[in-house]
Structure 1
Amino acid sequence: MDDLKLYGRNSDQLDGLLHTVRTFSDDIQMKFGLDKCAVAHFVNGRLSGHNSGVTVGKTDTINCLEPGQVYKYLGVDESNGIQHSMMRERLRREYLRRVKVVLRTELYGRNKILAINGFALPVLTYGFGVIHWGCTDLQQLDRRTRKLLSMHGVHHPAADVDRLYAPCSDGGRGLQQIESTYQSCIVRLNCYLADSSDPFMQMIRECDSGKSLHSIKRMACRFTAQLRRSLALDDKSQNLHRNASISVEGGFEQAPKTDARHYRTCCSSLRVRSWSGKPMHGQYRRLTEQPPVDMKETYGWLKAANLPAATEGLVVAAQDQALRTRYYERKILHRDVSPTCRMCSVGLETVDHIVAGCSALAPTDYTDRHNQVASIIHWDVCRHFGVPVESRWYRHHPDRLVETDDITMMWDTTIPTARKIKANRPDICLRNRKTNTCLLIDISCPADGNIGKKHAEKLAKYSDLRVEISRMWHCRTLVVPVVLGALGTVHAGIARWLDIIPGHHNLQHLQKTVLLGSTRILRKVMSSF
């Protein structure tokens, strides 16, 4: 730091200290920023005016503070003490200003969250432990942040709040909650104060009056106790928190430095479990916890940062079952409307029905979404074998037949067989004469709860065709199912199947294509009357 504060019993002692600092400054060629310097005279704990400033050198003068004025030290306004209310208001305005600046940008949804965490939140965290914040003030800032996110389409108003603050690896959005960040900072600061071996910190602990360091200690103990009460902990977690707790009466304990990390981990666990336990919002989370879903890959798109903010917010709201479908209006809002689908007038209009179960959308929108995913795989295979294609996959229009010296690839073509086989038209049939193999690739984007059933169905559907091709072409034939849920759910074995297909296939790219197709369908249906 380059800020320096000098304390003297009187003006003469202060002049001596200032002379010493000026001598060292001249030796290292450092100049004072006199416009940022000030002298404060305190009498009986109150700031008193002084007619003349303090002379530094021959001509330089440092002015004195008048009653009502403040000086800034390390970014904090002070007078006879820290001006807490003034600093809270200034930090609040600056934090909200930065949040608005981030939300007005064209960043992707994930990058906006990261920008808020890295650009706006540090305005507040810099003063945590120094500036006094009440829980109500922090909760109001969190609510204001969520409101701004909703106004800019990043967060759906009816989407789950716990999920917004949960880690991306667990399916959350990764936004740092201000209140829990404050509590974590207090716990970490307390651990540092209790465990620091610095001799100056030991002097401070010995001379502390009980109003500053111990107040941090009491807050840390209270936050830890609140977290322990909120969690239904097993024996192992109980031991973890018992070791991380701090006794108020016993002075500063030698608390391990891992306490703050444990605190943050348990806060994240609490949010995930709270989200998972909700009857409506937690349905998708509970689904991803069940086999055959690969939870890590399912939530991979949240960390990829490749979807617009409004699209990401819509996908999360759809997964949370928070969109105002007719079924939602009837069962949740208790409005007198028919819960049947406005497109097919047959099934109940739920989110799953719209994205994967409507008979009126199947011939058009579902087919387009399916073909886009299949065309990416076709494009990657063509590039792998050196077949001339467009530079961008979305400009690629697969040919019915692609043939080179080594391969023959058929797109959505009926394969003639000696005996009659009902399922004889896979999405892609790739015959490699060099390796004497044949791949029957079929793509599906079912409802997220049906990916396991659809995966088994694809394997059984083309089993007869696989046997017949092996007999006719005398090659090893394999059925390759590529099953992705309409809202991004990933089958546990999909990475292994994609590795079998020649070329470099990006799973998150396929996920993104499915999600964009599903959001297009949702916007189309929700905007129709």
Structure 2
Amino acid sequence: VKTFSSDICMQLGLDKCATVTINRGQMVRGDGLKLPRDKVIDPLPLEKSYEHLGILEHGSINNIDVKKKATMEYKKRLRQLLKSKPKADMERLYEPRRKGGRGLKSIDDLVFKEQCALSMRFEKFSNLNLSLLVYKKERKIKKSYLKHSTTPALKLVSKEKIVEKGMRENQTDHEDHLMKWAANTLHGKREKLLKIVDEDSSKWLRTAHLKPPTEALIIAVQDQALHTNWMGHYVLKTGKTTDKCRRCKKFAETVKHIVSRCPMLAQGMYHERHNQVANALHWDFCGQYQLPREQHWWEHKPEPVTEKERVEILWDFTLQLYRCVEARKPDILLIQKASGSITIIYIACPWDETLAKKEEEKISKYQPLRMELARTWGGKAKVVPIVVGTLGALPKTLKGYL
């Protein structure tokens, strides 16, 4: 080992090595192998096996453990396959992540690009005789690259593509998938929504680094591809007797109802989701104004009143006013002591398609409180609605408020 390590000028990973002692065909416990410079290769315990190229060995191949491991891996992959969402939109798989897709490569697109490159190479042969030979030979073949070389070359050079209705300019492979995605009645709603919301609504696909099963579940929910009672009753027609929600038993069990409308989840999961958004915002304010906070926002527990020389933050605080104001308990009230400005912050997590409506609703709801605070405290007050969609959509006005 020493000579070999010196020859290649590298150290052998002894921590990955082990010794096996066999006495008269039987595995026995050994003492390991002593090496120069007080190094020792530890013995392999009798109850363990050594994995070499994925095969478990201990003197010989451990067939029982190998079969057990292969069976466990097979069942694990089978469970992952059964948990997949085969009814989700396939075109979204090949859209770039910045546009709300999964960012995978389509085999059809890769083959088409190779056809483009190969056909253009044939067209640009410097040898005239060789070019004519290839041209005539390829023209005789039914499925020839050169026979339809005009369309691939045109698409590759000028970004144009021939479709059934004629020529469309500036059409790429991704835009082709985008058109098919938008054409779907149910799945296409998400694509249409991404055109009117903020571009950061799909940023989580690039920065969150979620596990593939978690990411696939969120995508399936956004595509409304979950097997709900409503889906089974009206679309899949599985023979279910009712389309009602399994929790509230009152309304149709759609994805929209599950994530934002079910009364049985309102005071539990919906309230917790709302508080997590408010908690992250309060944690950010504490860091901005040098107030005490936890290291991570999910560990932060806001106090009802957090105060310093130049700022005061009220958390879920009921305000006592001279006049009767119905909405007088904002989620966060930020008071700038030096300038006297007051920021009324209200947080809402509605269904993604109702962001603008919910934003206008919260602004009008807290206008009486804004006017009363401005009159009573003598400062400039404003209402800031922080509206985040239940499935990650962000309004374009959000950055202006932040």
Instruction: Give TM-score scaled by structure 1 length.
Output: 0.56
- Cα deviations across residues 326-384 of structure 1 (Å, max 9, x unaligned)? 00110111122311111111111000100000000000100000100110000010011
C-alpha distance 483-317 of structure 1, shift in aligned 2 (>3 A):
same
The one-letter code of the counterpart of 1:151 is L
> Aligned partner of 1:387: which letter?
L
Structure 2 residue identity aligned to 1:287: L
Q: Which residue of 1 aligns with 2:126?
A: 202
Any idea what the Cα deviations from partners look like across 1:138-187, whole Å, max 9, x if unmatched?
Answer: xxxxxxxxx9997296x621111111112223322111101211101221
Q: Which residue of 2 aligns with 1:373?
A: 277
Aligned to 2:81: 151
Structure with bigger helix share is: 1
- Picking from 274, 277, 293, the partner of 2:180 is 274
What's 1:288 paired with?
194
Residue 299 (structure 1) aligned to one of 179, 196, 202:
202
**Partners of 1:399 and 1:285 in 2: how far apart?**
40
Q: CA deviation at 1:222?
A: 6.3
Q: Say whether 1:162 aligns with 2:72.
A: no
Identity in percent: 31
Look up the SS of the partner of 1:202 in the other structure.
Answer: coil
Q: Does 1:332 align with 2:235?
A: yes
Within 2, Cα distance between the matches of 1:461 and 1:395? 31
Query: Any stretches of 5+ residues in structure 2 without a counterpart?
Result: 1-72
Note the C-alpha offset of 1:448. Answer: 1.1
Residues 397 and 341 (structure 1 numbering): CA distance in 2 closer, same or farther, change over 3 Å?
same
Query: What does residue 423 of structure 1 align with?
Result: 327
Mapped pair 1:177 → 2:106? yes
Structure 1: gaps spanning 5 or more residues = 1-103, 105-146, 196-200, 241-261, 499-529
Contact 1:459 1:479 in 2 (8 A): yes
In the TM superposition, what whole-angstrom CA distance separates every residue of 1:53-87 from its partner, at most 9, and x where no partner exists? xxxxxxxxxxxxxxxxxxxxxxxxxxxxxxxxxxx
Question: Partner of 1:285: helix, strand, or coil?
Answer: helix
SS at match of 2:257: helix
Match of 1:341 in 2: 245
Partners of 2:375 and 2:352 lie apart in 1 by 36
Alignment-derived partner of residue 91 in structure 1: none
Q: Indicate whether 1:313 and 2:237 are aligned.
A: no
State the distance in 2 between where 1:326 and 1:187 align: 47
What is the CA–CA distance in structure 2 between the aligned matches of 1:359 and 1:224, rounded to whole Å? Answer: 57
In the alignment, what sits opposite 2:55? none
Superposition RMSD on alpha carbons, in Å?
Answer: 2.7
Letter in 1 for 2:298: Y
User: For the Cα contact (< 8 Å) 1:231–1:270, is it kept in 2?
Assistant: no
Which protein has greater RCO, CA pairs closer than 8 Å, 6+ apart?
1
Measure, in 1, the Cα distance between the counterparts of 2:223 and 2:79.
Answer: 17
Equivalent residues in 2 for 1:87-102, closer than 5 Å: none
Task: Give the letter for the 1:323 counterpart.
Answer: L
Q: 1:152 to 1:302 in 2, by over 3 A?
A: farther
Q: Deviations over 1:409-433 (max 9, x none)?
A: 1000111111010000110001011
For 1:451 and 1:300, how far apart are their aligned partners in 2? 18
**1:192 Cα deviation from its structure 2 partner:** 4.7
Could you say which residue in structure 2 is the equivalent of 1:198?
Answer: none
After TM superposition, the structure 1 stretch with the greater mean CA deviation from structure 2, 336-345 or 374-383, is: 336-345
State the one-letter code of the partner of 2:226: L
Q: Which moved more, 1:305-314 or 1:174-183?
A: 305-314
Residues 232 and 399 of structure 1, relative CA distance in 2, 3 Å threshold? farther
Deviation at 1:231, TM superposition (A): 5.3
Structure 2 CA distance for aligned equivalents of residues 344 and 222 of structure 1: 56
Cross-structure match for 1:438: 342
Amino acid in the other structure paired with 2:93: L
Give runs of aligned pairs for residues 388-399 of structure 1, distance below 5 A: 388-399=292-303
Aligned to 1:218: 147
- The alignment's TM-score, normalised by the length of structure 2, stands at 0.72
On the 8 A contact 1:150/1:156 being kept in 2, the answer is no
Q: Which residue of 1 is the match for residue 116 of structure 2?
A: 187
In 1, are the aligned partners of 2:122 and 2:134 still within 8 Å (CA)? no
**Contact kept? 1:183, 1:220, Cα under 8 Å:** no
